[in-house]
Amino acid sequence: MMIDTHAHCHFDAYKDDQDEVIKRSLKKGTIVNLVGTQSDTSRRAVEVAEKYDGVYASVGLHPEHLLSEYIDKDETSRQTNEKNFDYNLYKKLAQHPKVVGIGECGLDFYRIPDGLSIEQILPKQREVFLQHVKLAGELDLPIIIHCREAHQQLTTILREAKHLYPNLTGTMHCYTGNWINAEEYLKLGMYIGFTGVITFPPKKSDPKAQEDLLEVVKRVPNDRILLETDCPYLSPIPYRGKRGEPWMIEATAVKIAEIKGITLEKVLKITTENALRLFTKINTP
């Protein structure tokens, strides 16, 4: 058994064969957490999860949907650009029995709208992230955190959040940072989610970034590692360039086993145990 803790099989990228993709992953022994990025995709994640045993949902508002005009053609047919977080709407969705987490949410300084600075967008991203934290605390659910080029600011906010909600826990989704930042997240009670990015070759423009990431894989305690695809994106080698599917997390697990010097079977066992410990509402067959 494997658990893909972060997938988007409810996005438009799967509009023609969603049922086949999900059934194929379930047949290969993969439990799936469908993660929302705004109200449309959060609602859709819940609707799809209702249809299948072994499929769950998480609901949240991605920081890219707060201030920018960012639209992803793979994401949703309605392509909602929300700009504001409707606490009551997400709370209602999150109370569904198939919802296992809050997010994805967090900070993103990679796509800054023209004419704005980090200092200008941070207050709103911070406010909305803390609203997610409040919702996670109120409903006793883990939080799924997206962070891109904002680790210093995010760790500061997380420390504040932990004072408000000492039991807050969650996962750093698609972690690509260095060990210094990873260690801070671990101290704050977070798990670290790895995607197919760890299987990629180093970028010629910045080879040290991959070196730093693989160091994190090696050093993160076994009881804090999670597997995720972030499909349809970031398919691991040997599937790179193809649309991702949840069952492909096994290739990421193979890479983790290689880096840590342990068996694939052990990686699958510990990551499944970790996911079940964090996402307590997931039921196994």
* Angstrom distance (rounded) from CA 130 to CA 144: 12
> What's the whole-number mean pLDDT along residues 22-33?
98
Task: Give the range among 115-124, 148-157, 165-174, 258-267 with minimum mean pLDDT.
Answer: 115-124
Give pLDDT, residue 114.
79
- Residue 28 domain flag: yes
Give pLDDT, residue 151.
96
Tens of pLDDT, residues 31-61: 999 999 999 999 999 999 999 999 999 999 9
- Residue 241 domain flag: yes
pTM over 0.85: yes
Q: Which 3-state string (H, E, C) describes 158-193?
A: HHHHHHHCCCCCEEECCCCCCHHHHHHHHHCCEEEE
pLDDT higher than threshold 60 for residue 255: yes
- Residue 221 domain flag: yes
> What's the whole-number mean pLDDT along residues 22-30?
98
- Residue 71 domain flag: yes
Give pLDDT, residue 182.
98
- Could you give the number of structural domains in the chain? 1
> What's the whole-number mean pLDDT along residues 253-268?
98
Give pLDDT, residue 108.
94
C-alpha 35 chain-centroid distance: 7
Give pLDDT, residue 77.
53
* Angstrom distance (rounded) from CA 56 to CA 282: 7
- Residue 284 domain flag: no
| pLDDT category of residue 195 using cuts at 50, 70 and 90 | very high
- Residue 14 domain flag: yes
Tens of pLDDT, residues 116-164: 899 999 999 999 999 999 999 999 999 999 999 999 999 999 999 999 9
Nearest to 55 by CA among 96, 12, 86, 106: 96
* Angstrom distance (rounded) from CA 114 to CA 285: 49
Tens of pLDDT, residues 66-123: 876 666 777 765 556 677 899 999 999 999 999 999 999 999 998 787 788 999 999 9
- Residue 138 domain flag: yes
What CATH number does residue 21 fall under? 3.20.20.140
User: Can you give the residue range of the structural domain that contains 239?
Assistant: 2-278
Give pLDDT, residue 103.
97
Q: Which residues pair with 107 in a beta bridge?
A: 147
- Residue 283 domain flag: no
Q: Which residues pair with 30 in a beta bridge?
A: 2
Task: Give the range among 49-63, 105-119, 219-233, 238-252 with minimum mean pLDDT.
Answer: 105-119
What is the phi/psi pair of residue 176, to 5°? -135, 10
